[in-house]
Structures are given as structure tokens and as C-alpha cells.
Structure 1
Amino acid sequence: MNLKGLADVKTASLPPVHKWSPPFCGDMDLVIKANGDWVHEGGKIKRPAMVTMFSRILWLEDNAYFLVTPVEKVRIQVEDAPFLVTEWQWIETEQGPAIEFTTLTNDVLVLGKDCDLWMEEFDSEERPYISMRYGMKALVGRNVFYGIAENIVPVETVQGKGVGLISAGKHYLLMQDE
């Protein structure tokens, strides 16, 4: 894959992959594991900057994941979610207190403003996810979920009543009343 020029892209910025329409060039032996590891040809990518760079050119199309440059598009495999939330903190927003999430690849998202939260089954287990760019999602790491679970309050949403979180004025149902 030709990555020339991508090294100039700052970590905090995102290249305009949504504007690129390169031809499909085949499959790449790259797997994003369910635990957040990026594995290329059987070996874990150990350079965080490389993983972050690849994450910036990740694209979801027809339930398949691709790395996209202006001239190439290669398919990769994703076991669960391509992103993993590893940190969180409370911040103050115009809409009130909000949870700020940070992913393993240094994406920063505010729950209720930049992303939403839901529970979904994966491998016979209910897991928390947040929405990401281009229709992708991030798994909320277990340690992060336990941390935010200490802030669960009664909520009511269109899905029903139960307990969940309130962030930036939005209610998120995590467990419905029976």
C-alpha cells in the first residue's frame, strides 16, 4: 500500500477519506483484534504512531473495512470494533456535564455531542459501544465501562425506562427496567 504523503498528516487531523474513490486493490493481511490489537502478517504492530496513522485512513463500506489512500483501497479484517475506548473523564459543555472518551488511536469524542452509546451483543456477551466517524464504532474498554458505571442514574429514553448515563444533556439507557 502506498502511504506516501500520509506521514505529513498530523495525528489530530483526519484526511478526507470520504472524498477519495480509489480502485479496490485486494486484501491486506491485517486484522484488528477484538482486544484492540492491530496484527499485520501474524505480528502485532507495536508502534502506536503506525496504528494511529492507519486508523485515520480506515473506511467502512458495505460492512467491510478498508484502508484507503487517494490511489488505493485494500480490505482488512476487523473482529469486533475497529476502535477501543481506553480513557474517559468528565468535562463541562454548554449542554452540561459530559463524558469525554479517548480511544487507543487518540480520537477524542464527547458523549452526546460527537458520539452516542449503546449496548450490543458480541460473542454471547453484552458490550458497550460508541459511534465513530463514517458509521464505525468503538468498543468501550472494560475498565472505562466500570468507571462510567459508577455514574449510572435513572433515565428514560425512547427505548424505555431504566438506568444509564446522562452526558451533554442526552440520556443513554444501559439497562432497561423489567
Structure 2
Amino acid sequence: MSDPGKAGDLLAQIPKGEGKSLPPVHLWNPDFCGDIDMRIARDGTWFYLGTPIGRKPMVKLFSTIIRRDGDDYFLITPVEKVGIKVDDAPFVAVTLQVEGEGEQQVLRFTSNVDDEIEAGAEHPLRVEIDPATEEPAPYLHVRTNLEALVHRNVFYQLVELAVPRQIDGQTWLGVWSGGEFFPIGPQP
């Protein structure tokens, strides 16, 4: 980037699309221009130069050009690629809508940047257990290599919806969505 201190320069390079389609960041391979002082906190707050970005439209715009390569996160335009820090996941699933029940159930999540994601084969749910604290950390696949941390209140809703199912001789509690069963944890 000509001046890595200016997030506005990066914004000016984002192609203006029509409708809700996302820019094809997976097709862009610009030169790496270095890291910028931008961070996404675990709660989904975006920071620039240590200050929260208070304008949601700006955060939403930046969220359309994020890409993860390996363990690293970047904001990508057709001509620039800059590194940013992500504390956990770049998105947070903040609401849940439930339609139907049992194997016909559909779970629709809304992220902190207003993306709507329907859990299913293309958007699986997974739960990691912290080995030290044994605390669950649930995630929802949003798009290529990007996930949303499921907010604690939304996770509690999932736990309330959980049903038992035998998997490899063990009973697991989990939820159905889009014809897929997503284990949350073993039944005690």
C-alpha cells in the first residue's frame, strides 16, 4: 500500500459490485504490501490504529475483502494485499433463527456484519474444546477458510436444541440443520 497508515486508501480500491455478491478475493493475487495496524477482536470488534472502528458500514465493507491464507489474515484488493490480526475468528454469529424440527430443522445464523449463513453441508458447525479449561468454542463456516465464532448466547440456544445421536458407538448431543447432524459434545 502506498501509505499503510491509511485504511481509506484500501477502501478506495474495492471494486463496487452489484447486489450482495462478494468481491472475488480468492481470484486476486496482488503483491503483499506489509501489515497494517488493524485487528479483529474475539468479540468481533474491528480496531484500526488501536481504536474501534465505529462505523458499521465501513466494517461491513472491510469484511467483504478479508481472506485467510494458512493461519494469516489479509485484506485484499485487486492491487494490494495487507496483513491484519485476528484474535480468534473474523466473524461472530450473533443471532439464530430456527425453522422446523428434527432432521428437517434449518438453523440460520446472522453474523455481526449482517451475513446470513444457513448451517448445512456447505456451512458446517464445529465445536472445539479448550484442553486447559474444557470450555467449548463453537464455530460456523462462513466462506472459504473463514469462520464465525458462535456467540455464547447463541451457543446456549444450540444446546437447548440438542438431541442425542449415536456416532461410532458413543452418544453425542448435537443439532440438525440442512439434513446434517452437527455434534456439540458427548452425552454425559
CA shift for structure 1 position 2:
3.0
- 2: CA distance, partners of 1:159 / 1:68: 45
**Which range moved further: 25-34 or 131-140?**
131-140
Q: How many residues align?
A: 177
1:48 equivalent in structure 2: 56
1:63 equivalent in structure 2: 71
2:90 equivalent in structure 1: 82
RMSD of the alignment, in Å?
A: 2.3
1:33 equivalent in structure 2: 41
Does 1:115 pair with 2:161? no
Q: Confirm or deny: 8 A CA contact 1:85 1:102 kept in the other structure.
A: yes
- 1: CA distance, partners of 2:109 / 2:64: 17
CA shift for structure 1 position 8:
2.8
Q: Confirm or deny: 8 A CA contact 1:155 1:165 kept in the other structure.
A: no
Percent identity between the two aligned chains: 37
Does 1:3 pair with 2:11? yes
Residues 91-106 of structure 1 aligned to structure 2 (within 5 Å): 91=99, 96-106=104-114
CA shift for structure 1 position 5:
5.3
- The two structures have a TM-score, normalised by structure 1, of 0.89
Alignment counterpart, residue 80 of structure 2, candidates 72, 77, 80: 72
- 2: CA distance, partners of 1:159 / 1:104: 38
- The two structures have a TM-score, normalised by structure 2, of 0.85
- 2: CA distance, partners of 1:152 / 1:32: 30
- Structure 1, unpaired ranges of 5+: none
Does 1:164 pair with 2:174? yes
- Structure 2, unpaired ranges of 5+: 1-8
- 1: CA distance, partners of 2:186 / 2:114: 32
Task: Choose 1 or 2 for highest CA Rg.
Answer: 2
Q: Aligned letter for 1:136?
A: L
